[in-house]
Amino acid sequence: MSFSRWLRSNSEHALLRDAQGRMAAKYGANPPARPHGLKDRWWRQVFAPVYRVLPWRFRRVAMQSIPGSHRRGWPKPEYLPPGQQ
């Protein structure tokens, strides 16, 4: 697995768990399991809260600077819709 793929996978997981925890607290539901190990603690207790408070401009720059699916553009259509030929 490439570094960018690993980074995206871990960050998505941490942000998802953070969102689940906030929704559980808001609605009185069961929260996700607590972090296990140092790696999980770092992603969920340091990365996710810091990422959440960053302005969108900085998040966007970070996402664009790392190769991966965020840099893909919209695919060109393979055909023109009827009436636009």
| pLDDT tens-digit map of 48-66 | 999 999 999 998 888 877 7
Answer whether residue 21 is part of any domain: yes
| Whole-number CA gyration radius for the chain | 18
How many folded domains does the chain comprise?
1
Answer whether residue 74 is part of any domain: no
Answer whether residue 85 is part of any domain: no
Domain range enclosing 62: 3-66
Answer whether residue 72 is part of any domain: no
Answer whether residue 77 is part of any domain: no
**Which amino acid, one-letter code, is at 29?**
A
pLDDT digits (tens, 9 = 90+) for 7-60: 888 889 999 999 999 999 999 999 888 888 999 899 999 999 999 999 999 988
Instruction: Check residue 51 and give its pLDDT.
Output: 92
Tokens of residue 78, six digits:
């393979």
pTM of the predicted model as reported, rounded to 2 decimal places: 0.71
Instruction: Check residue 82 and give its pLDDT.
Output: 74
- Cβ neighbors of 67 (< 8 A, separation 6 or more) are 4
